[in-house]
């Protein structure tokens, strides 16, 4: 088994599980390379792909952060490179054309909370704990935490969590909008699968365009309202768009082809 195990089911869902339970699934170079490879090209081996779930092995941790032991001796250049590679990898996840859900089965700290935030949704087990404890180590988040936490929960609360390093439980994460749902411990993946199965019945072109257009909101180079108009036009003019409207009018279920 690799450092990230990969299972695929007949609903077209891939489950990626980080296999470092003794290190609370901390993200070392090998884990980051595994994610980079999968979201860059590894996924292409699956003819049908409707969604991806990321989770951690064991019951204690989703991911307890970047691997502190690995980066502790990095010089400035090495640490910057580590951060850049992490950013590029998490962008691949955030911009992926099918939904990616974090099944948060325990601690999601530092680079682990950042990984969960790069996913499109987060399902928290009741025992999950979220936090950005980097300031405890005298450093700042390096995988997008200062940006995505603000995007998800707003500046005031984000800056409090980033500065105090406080951990919050699943209920609080849900209240703040960081977790989409809280489920009994052990049910995280199942809940994520049921959401992905529902999305899997929708038009794939539309699903990809929703992700792309929502992401555009956070890209200062793009006029996101204009982008929505253009992408709406393209979606209407796609085979799936025609099929969806025809199926409604003919009172039948649409058959989408992803074209
Ligand atoms: N990196 C490397 N190893 C880690 C780790 C991490 N982030 N988190 C936990 N581990 C290891 C521990 O060193 C320990 O290994 P050993 O048995 O070999 O000593 C093992 O996992 C179990 O951990 P603990 O004994 O500490 O377990 P605990 O139940 O007492 O505490 C915890 C759990 C509160 C999560 C604690 O492990 C902890 O505070 N971990 C570090 C959390 C953290 O600071 N994360 C941020 C990292 S920095 C970062 O992520 C920067 C970035 O944005 C890029």
Does residue 95 belong to any structural domain of this protein?
yes
Other Cβ atoms within 10 Å of 106 Cβ, number: 25
Residue 129 CA, closest ligand 1 atom number: 35
Distance of CA 208 to the CA centre of its chain: 14
**pLDDT tens readout for residues 119-165:** 999 999 999 999 999 999 999 999 999 999 999 999 999 999 999 99
Return the structure tokens found at 231.
């992408």
CA of 176 to the centre of ligand 1 (A): 25
Q: Which of 30, 20, 8, 92 is nearest to 56 (CA)?
A: 20
Which mutation among 21, 65, 69 tests ligand 1's pocket best, with the greatest number of atoms within 8 A of CB? 65
pLDDT computed for residue 100 by the predictor:
99
Contacts of 145 (CB under 8 A, 6+ apart): 110, 111, 113, 114, 117, 132, 134, 162
193 catalytic, yes or no? no
Domain boundary among 158, 176, 199: 199
Pair (10, 84) in one structural domain: yes
Pair (165, 216) in one structural domain: no
Distance of CA 257 to the CA centre of its chain: 25
Pair (47, 77) in one structural domain: yes
CA of 178 to the centre of ligand 1 (A): 21
Pair (32, 68) in one structural domain: yes
Does residue 256 belong to any structural domain of this protein?
no
Pair (38, 23) in one structural domain: yes
**pLDDT tens readout for residues 176-220:** 999 999 999 999 999 999 999 999 999 999 999 999 999 999 999
Any idea what DSSP says for residue 72?
T
Pair (129, 225) in one structural domain: no
125 lines ligand 1 (CB under 6 A): no
Beta strand 100-104 pairing with 61-63: unpaired
pLDDT computed for residue 159 by the predictor:
98
1 pLDDT tier (thresholds 50, 70, 90): low
Mean pLDDT within 20-36: 98
Pair (121, 11) in one structural domain: yes
Pair (53, 138) in one structural domain: yes
Pair (190, 213) in one structural domain: no
Does residue 100 belong to any structural domain of this protein?
yes
Pair (130, 224) in one structural domain: no
**pLDDT tens readout for residues 45-102:** 999 999 999 999 999 999 999 999 999 999 999 999 999 999 999 999 999 999 999 9
Q: In 3-state terms, what secondary structure has residue 22?
A: helix
pTM of the predicted model as reported, rounded to 2 decimal places: 0.98
* Structural domains counted in the chain: 2
64 lines ligand 1 (CB under 6 A): yes
Pair (118, 231) in one structural domain: no
Domain that holds residue 76: 4-199
Query: What DSSP element (H or E) covers 61?
Result: strand 61-63
């Amino acid at each position: 088994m690799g450092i990230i195990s990969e299972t695929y089911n007949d609903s077209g869902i891939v489950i990626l599980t980080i296999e470092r339970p003794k290190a609370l699934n901390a993200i070392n170079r090998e884990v980051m390379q595994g994610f980079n490879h999968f979201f860059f090209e590894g996924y292409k081996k699956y003819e049908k792909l409707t969604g991806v779930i990321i989770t951690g092995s064991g019951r204690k941790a989703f991911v307890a952060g970047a691997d502190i032991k690995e980066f502790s001796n990095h010089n400035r250049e090495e640490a910057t490179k580590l951060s850049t590679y992490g950013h590029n990898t998490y962008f691949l996840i955030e911009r992926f054309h099918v939904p990616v859900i974090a099944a948060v089965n325990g601690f999601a700290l530092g680079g682990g909370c950042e990984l969960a935030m790069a996913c499109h949704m987060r399902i928290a087990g009741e025992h999950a704990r979220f936090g950005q404890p980097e300031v405890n180590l005298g450093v700042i988040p390096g995988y997008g935490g200062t940006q995505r936490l603000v995007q998800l929960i707003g500046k005031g609360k984000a800056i409090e969590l980033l500065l105090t390093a406080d951990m919050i439980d699943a209920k609080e994460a849900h209240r703040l909008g960081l977790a989409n749902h809280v489920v009994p411990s052990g049910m995280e993946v199942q809940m994520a699968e049921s959401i992905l199965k529902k999305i899997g019945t929708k038009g794939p072109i539309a699903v990809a365009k929703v992700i792309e257009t929502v992401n555009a909101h956070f890209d200062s180079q793009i006029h996101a309202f204009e982008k929505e108009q253009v992408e709406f036009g393209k979606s209407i003019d796609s085979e799936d768009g025609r099929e969806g409207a025809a199926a409604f009018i003919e009172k039948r279920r649409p058959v989408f082809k992803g074209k």
